[in-house]
């Protein structure tokens, strides 16, 4: 497509996301892989929260959470989600929309094992999104889990990953006088070829 050069160049949107993320890792002060993940509840009311993107695969994006959390319930119910990566240091963002599937196998085990021990124990101790009487109660649960699970706890059955396979990815970069550059990659299904269009700012 004409005009897709420089920072927008390439024929694979996943390679482009990885390239932008690599640049952001060098310039963004905190969590360059933070995404604002958007879901909807059973009534269609939106929810959004920050989550860490853990992998950009060849055809999908992967993040992890507690399967009993509100976000997981909404992901399971709708089977669709959206997120945005925003890098203030680069004046760029990437918007993604697509279909959701669980990552609940060896890859989730591997990622869980790579986390720090306190984070692994915390995944066992926290009943994410459920009411909590006090911080003291949470820390008591962490101590209990630490005593029972030891130094190499297995991944909890209610904790794992989600894979978002996109049908739309939009790359946005700040332009002078608010004349931003936007390119939208869109496909009818996850197996269809991408169509790329430049959008008005």
Give the active site residue among 92, 97, 120, 178.
Answer: 178
The full 3-state SS of the chain, as one line of letters, equals CCCCCHHHCCCCHHHHHHHHHHHHHHHCCCCCCEEEEEEECCCCCEEEEEEEEEEECCCCEEEEEECCCHHHHHHHHHCEEEEEEEECCCCEEEEEEEEEEEECCHHHHHHHHHCCHHHHHHHHHCCCCCCCCCHHHHHHHHHHHHHHHCCCCCCCCCEEEEEEEEEEEEEEECCHHHCCEEEEEECCCCCCCCEEEEECC
Residue 4 annotated among the catalytic residues of the structure: no
The residues assigned a catalytic role are: 178
């Amino acid at each position: 497509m004409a005009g897709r050069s420089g920072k927008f160049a390439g024929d694979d949107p996943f390679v482009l996301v990885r390239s932008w993320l690599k640049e952001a890792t060098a310039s963004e002060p905190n969590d360059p892989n933070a995404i604002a993940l958007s879901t909807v509840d059973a009534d269609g009311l939106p929810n959004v929260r920050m989550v860490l993107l853990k992998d950009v695969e060849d055809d999908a994006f992967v993040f992890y959470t507690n399967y009993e959390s509100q976000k997981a319930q909404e992901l399971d119910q709708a089977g669709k989600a959206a997120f945005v990566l925003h890098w203030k240091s680069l004046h760029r963002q990437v918007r993604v929309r697509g279909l959701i599937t669980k990552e609940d196998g060896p890859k989730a085990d591997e990622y869980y094992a790579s986390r720090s021990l306190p984070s692994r124990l915390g995944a066992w101790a926290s009943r994410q999104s459920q009411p909590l009487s006090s911080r003291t109660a949470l820390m008591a649960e962490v101590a209990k889990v630490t005593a029972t699970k030891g130094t190499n706890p297995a991944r909890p059955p209610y904790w794992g990953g989600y894979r978002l396979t996109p049908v739309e990815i939009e790359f946005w970069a700040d332009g002078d006088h608010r004349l931003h550059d936007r390119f939208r990659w869109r496909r009818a299904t996850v197996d269809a070829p991408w169509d790329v269009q430049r959008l008005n700012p």
